[in-house]
Amino acid sequence: MKLGLQGFVRNDSGGVTVEVQGTSQRTKEFLQAFQEQLPPLASIDSLVTSELECLDESEFSILRSSVSHSESTPVAPDVAMCEECRRELNDTNDRRYRYPFVNCTDCGPRFTIIEDIPYDRPMTTMKSFTMCESCQREYDDPSDRRFHAQPNACPDCGPGIWFVTKQSDAKKFGSMEVGKHTRDSADAAIKEFATAIRNSDVVAVKGIGGFHLACDAKSLSAIAKLRERKGKVEKPLAVMIKSAEAAEAFAYMSAAQRRVLESKERPIVLLRKRNSSEHQAMLQCVAPGNDCIGVMLPYSPLHTLLVDACMPLVMTSGNLSDEPIVRTNAEARERLKELADSFLFHDREINVVCDDSVVRCVGNRILPIRRSRGYSPMPVALATTGPSVLAVGGEIKSAFCVTKGNYAYMSQHIGDVGNLETVDALTRNVEHFLKLFRIDVEAVVADLHPEYLSSRWAQQFAAKRGVPFVRVQHHFAHALSLIGEQRWSDDRNAIMCCFDGTGYGTDQAIWGGEILIANSQEYERFAHLDYFPLPGGDACITHPSRTALALLRRYQIPWDDRLSSISTLTEIEKRVLRKQIDSGFHCASSSSMGRLFDAVASLIGIRHSVSYEAQAAMEMEAMASEVIEDVQSSYEFTMKPAKAIQIGCQSLLESIVRDVSAGVEKRVVAARFHRAVANMICSVCSHARDSRKLNTVGLTGGVFQNALLARLAECRLRAEGFDVLSHTIVPPNDGGLALGQAIAARTTIR
């Protein structure tokens, strides 16, 4: 319109079509301006232009969206409130002053409210609200910043909030009458919320991607109550706080961390705790034994109002442990009744649940830990195109992936697919993705593990659809997830260090300390940690001391009672364990790096049993970080050449036992161990470089959530002249696995 052109624009399920007609000068100007003046949320993936015959047209119009049944178009993730909307929220003269659902074309919910494409209001959960005259005027006016803002709403016509206690009249749990909520009723609800929080109550709050359980971060009794009810005995929680400045009172923040904290994705960012006496108790209580605390800023207007009323808040996902996060008011009333004292509801339906994302920073690089709200379902652009496949990931921290063309759509965090509720969530979300992105699955892929519920689900799904079912080895999938997101060349090999806790190997052992030489078609197991027994298999995950003893026994290192790993067990327990290890009864064979970290943490005396996976390793990382700059390491892994190089721990463990017995500080031993692992990575990679002429190293697998190890390994490798691939888009843990599985399957079935 500005350039006086005629033609039309139309949203369709394959993207956007614009036809303009005018002088060639003007149309050129249009094409340039179109690319240079994009609104904040727009991005151009590809632009195709062609010249057409002129038509008899007198104006420029916006045409109704058209849907095709084969083409797909990306769906935007949910975006944090923009600055303009924040200004309105705080402006006493604005008609949306303190309205909890302010949004505009540049911000607001998307993925969680979209039922189908194209993205128009009738295809969202906002369809039940009819816009008032003022809102409609904004929506229809191309010059308004709410032009075609699908969730557009105001206190007169949009959703509202209300507060109820558990004792409240059951009727109040349902939806509220539209138009009945006013600024006063919303303010009253927020006031009641604040009072409840001050009374150390746990409040279930409906947000963007589901319910949270909120409590006062400064009330130790409230946090204790929340933990007890949730059964999260020691797991770190996250806090939501007004601003980055406010967070700096209790956490250190680099420029990179601040940028991601304030980004439109607004993930939980893991920040190093600042030791101040004022916040000591809160930090210890929110994230015990951890040197980091998860911090997020409010991302919706509702959260902004809540945090303004009583900051900071502990915010944890509203679910029973291991179950999917709660979505509807009715579900919350049922499933959260034992967990929450009261509820803050709203009546904008959530169509898809989406947990908060979690990231940490390694230097300036963002390391995703959980990719969910704000990121999903932005597609990962792959280097090549291929068939459409569905990959279901592993068992824990599950997320699935569907591909179409050169796009891989990674789902939000689904959770641990170990119970029926999560399997239901998997089914529902897979169906939603297939519909949303118009995908006809040509193959289904799962992990090699025969017992995974997700693998069985995938097999059935493939059978129902009559398409091939493929299994991919766990660590090869890790390698491919990194190769895929970093668009490493398809046919060239890279040295992939895949370190994690558990992955089913082709020889039925539990792998996890794997150095593979891989490309998108195939892999070779170049080196791995030498096998050691895991007495009781998965029982070792919760009892690092068992792994420690098994490792010592494996290398014929005496069980010395001066080590707390040993003295923590009774004589009978030791006798039983020794017998079990020696006979191999119920012992899995393992090359798991995650278990080695656990075992060393136990030997050092940091922790002999844990309440969540990798707890011991996380605490060890925290200790090592304190002194790493002043510590060098003489600890050594050994390397035995064989078909695959066997990385032995004899000398390493002997050195650790010697240091621990000699009373060397825990954190020093921990730091030496971290350096030793980084050194080992570097020497195995040098070996691969010499023998195979390869120069690119990838670091993947859950162990690389350890930012200290990641940083040490990257530094060493770069100093030796290697190119290093690290995750920046999907997590190195099993949350990124599906991407690698999908890439493998596309090659297999092609």
Which option in Fe ion, Zn ion, none does residue 132 bind, with CB closer than 5 to 8 A by kind?
Answer: Zn ion
> Which of 301/387 has CB closer to Zn ion?
301
User: Using the rule CB under 5 A, is 126 a contact of Zn ion?
Assistant: no
Which residues, numbered 378-407, are part of the site for Zn ion (CB under 5 A)?
Answer: none
Q: What span, in angstroms and rounded, lies between the C-alpha atoms of 408 and 112?
A: 19
| Contact partner, 312, from Fe ion, Zn ion, none, Cβ < 5-8 Å per class | none
Phi-psi region of 178 (alpha: psi -120 to 50; beta: other; left: phi over 0): beta
The site that binds Fe ion (CB under 5 A) totals a number of residues, namely 3
What does 358 bind: Zn ion, Fe ion, none (CB cut-off 5 to 8 Å by kind)?
A: none
Our CB check for Zn ion shows the closer of 265 and 341 to be: 265
The reply on whether position 104 binds Zn ion by CB under 5 A is yes
Residue 82 lies near Zn ion (rule: CB under 5 A):
yes
CA 670 to chain centre: 27
Question: Quick one: 619 or 734, whose CB is closer to Fe ion?
Answer: 734
From Zn ion, Fe ion, none, interface partner of 240 (C-beta below 5 to 8 A by class): none
CB 211 within 8 A of CB 348: no
Tell me whether residue 78 or residue 106 sits nearer to Zn ion (CB atom).
Answer: 106
Residue 94 binding: pick among Fe ion, Zn ion, none (C-beta 5-8 Å cut-off by kind): none
Residue appearing with tokens 């009249």: 169
Nearer to Fe ion, 227 or 471 (CB): 471
Window contacting Zn ion (CB under 5 A); options: 12-20, 150-158, 451-459, 463-471: 150-158
Residue closer to Fe ion (CB basis): 207 or 735:
735
Is residue 40 within 8 A of residue 264, CB to CB? The reply is yes
Query: H or E segment at 742?
Result: helix 737-749
Nearer to Fe ion, 312 or 393 (CB): 393
Nearest partner of 468 among 442, 447, 450, 448, judged by Cα:
442
Contact stretch for Zn ion (CB under 5 A) within 67-75, 81-89, 436-444, 608-616: 81-89
Q: Are 353 and 54 in contact (CB under 8 A)?
A: no
Among 75, 79, 85, 618, binds Zn ion (CB under 5 A): 85
CB of 701 to Fe ion, least distance (A): 5
Considering only the stretches 79-87, 521-529, 539-547, 739-747, report the one whose residues sit in contact with Zn ion under the rule CB under 5 A: 79-87
- Smallest separation (angstroms) from Fe ion to the CB of 500: 4
8 Å CB contact between 196 and 341: yes
Q: How far is the CB of 739 from Fe ion (least distance, A)?
A: 13
Q: What whole-number distance in Å separates Cα of residue 399 and Cα of residue 156?
A: 39
Residue 734 contact among Zn ion, Fe ion, none, beta carbon within 5 to 8 Å by kind? Fe ion
Contact 528, 647 (CB under 8 A): yes
Sign of CA dihedral 526, 531, 536, 542: negative
Q: Which one of Fe ion, Zn ion, none interacts with residue 189, CB within 5 to 8 A by kind? A: none
Q: Is the dihedral of CA 671, 674, 680, 682 positive or negative?
A: negative
Q: In the 8-state DSSP scheme, what is residue 425?
A: H
Rounded to 10°, the helix 83-90/301-309 angle is 50
> Residue 416 binds which one of Fe ion, Zn ion, none, with CB within 5 to 8 A depending on kind?
none
154, 238, 569, 593: which one contacts Zn ion (CB under 5 A)?
154
Q: Which of residues 485-524 bind Zn ion (CB under 5 A)?
A: none
Min dist CB 86 to Zn ion, Å, is 8
- Pick between residue 314 and residue 396 the one whose CB is nearest to Fe ion: 396
Shortest reach from residue 151's CB to Zn ion, in Å: 10
Q: How far apart are CA 217 and CA 307, in angstroms?
A: 11
DSSP one-letter string for 519-585: -SS-EEEEEEEPPEEEETTTHHHH-HHHHHHHHHHHTT----TTSHHHHTS-HHHHHHHHHHHHHTT
The option from Fe ion, Zn ion, none interacting with 104 (CB < 5 to 8 A, set by class) reads Zn ion
CA–CA distance, 81 with 87 (Å, rounded to integer): 10
Contact segment (CB under 5 A) with Fe ion among 2-10, 42-50, 216-224, 730-738 equals 730-738
304 vs 520 by CB, closer to Zn ion: 304
Partner touching 720 among Zn ion, Fe ion, none, CB below 5 to 8 Å by kind: none
Could you say which of Zn ion, Fe ion, none residue 135 binds, taking C-beta under 5 to 8 angstroms by partner kind? Zn ion
Which C-beta is closer to Zn ion: that of 307 or that of 713? 307
- Check binding of 734 to Fe ion (CB under 5 A): yes
Q: Which does 671 bind (CB under 5 to 8 A by kind): Zn ion, Fe ion, none?
A: none
Report which residue's Cβ sits closest to Fe ion: 500
**Residue 154 interaction partner, one of Zn ion, Fe ion, none, beta carbon < 5-8 Å per kind:** Zn ion
Q: Which does 265 bind (CB under 5 to 8 A by kind): Zn ion, Fe ion, none?
A: none
Of the residues 16, 18, 67, 132, which one makes contact with Zn ion according to CB under 5 A:
132
Least distance from Zn ion to the Cβ atom of residue 57, Å: 33
Secondary structure (DSSP) of 198-244:
HTT--EEEE-SSSEEEEEETT-HHHHHHHHHHHT-SS---EEE-S-H
79 touching Zn ion, by CB under 5 A: no
End-to-end CA distance of the chain: 47
Q: Which is nearer to Fe ion, 100 or 503 (CB)?
A: 503
Task: Quote the distance between the C-alpha of residue 205 and its chain's center.
Answer: 21
**Residue 11 CB neighbour total at 10 angstroms:** 20
Q: Using the rule CB under 5 A, which residue among 57, 71, 156, 490 binds Zn ion? A: 156
Asked if 635 contacts 672 with a C-beta cutoff of 8 angstroms, the reply is yes
User: Minimum distance between the CB of residue 667 and Fe ion, rounded to whole angstroms?
Assistant: 27
Kindly state the smallest distance separating residue 150's Cβ from Zn ion, in Å.
13
Tell me, what amino acid is at 340?
A
Place of tokens 């601040």: 258
Beta-carbon neighbour count of residue 349 at 10 Å?
18
Binding range to Zn ion, per CB under 5 A, among 130-138, 437-445, 490-498, 703-711 = 130-138
161 vs 681, beta carbon nearer Zn ion: 161
Among 20, 80, 89, 107, binds Zn ion (CB under 5 A): 107
Contact predicate 650/638, CB 8 Å: yes
CB of 474 to Fe ion, least distance (A): 6
- Residue 85 binds what, of Fe ion, Zn ion, none (CB under 5 to 8 Å, by partner type)? Zn ion
500 binds Fe ion (CB under 5 A): yes
5, 117, 123, 135: residue in contact with Zn ion (rule CB under 5 A)? 135
- In the list Fe ion, Zn ion, none, the entry touching 500 (Cβ below 5 to 8 angstroms by class) is Fe ion
Place of tokens 């032995």: 648
| Binding residue count for Zn ion, defined by CB under 5 A | 10
Give the residue with the Cβ less far from Fe ion, 287 or 399: 399
CA distances from 459 to 192, 413, 471, 504, 687 (A): 49, 21, 9, 17, 40
**Among 403, 361, 346, residue whose Cα is nearest residue 379:** 403
Residues in contact with 60: Cβ distance below 8 Å, sequence separation at least 6, in sequence order: 1, 5, 6, 7, 8, 9, 20
Q: State the minimum distance, in angstroms, from the CB of residue 397 to Fe ion.
A: 9
What is the 3 state secondary structure string of 603-651?
Answer: HHCCCCCCCCCCHHHHHHHHHHHHHHHHCCCCCCCEEECCCCEEEECHH
- Which of positions 28-57 make contact with Zn ion (CB under 5 A)? none
Please tell me whether residue 447 binds Fe ion under the rule CB under 5 A: no
Tokens of 269: 């960012």
The site for Zn ion (CB under 5 A) is made up of 82, 85, 104, 106-107, 132, 135, 154, 156-157
The residues that touch Fe ion, with contacts defined as CB under 5 A, are 500, 503, 734
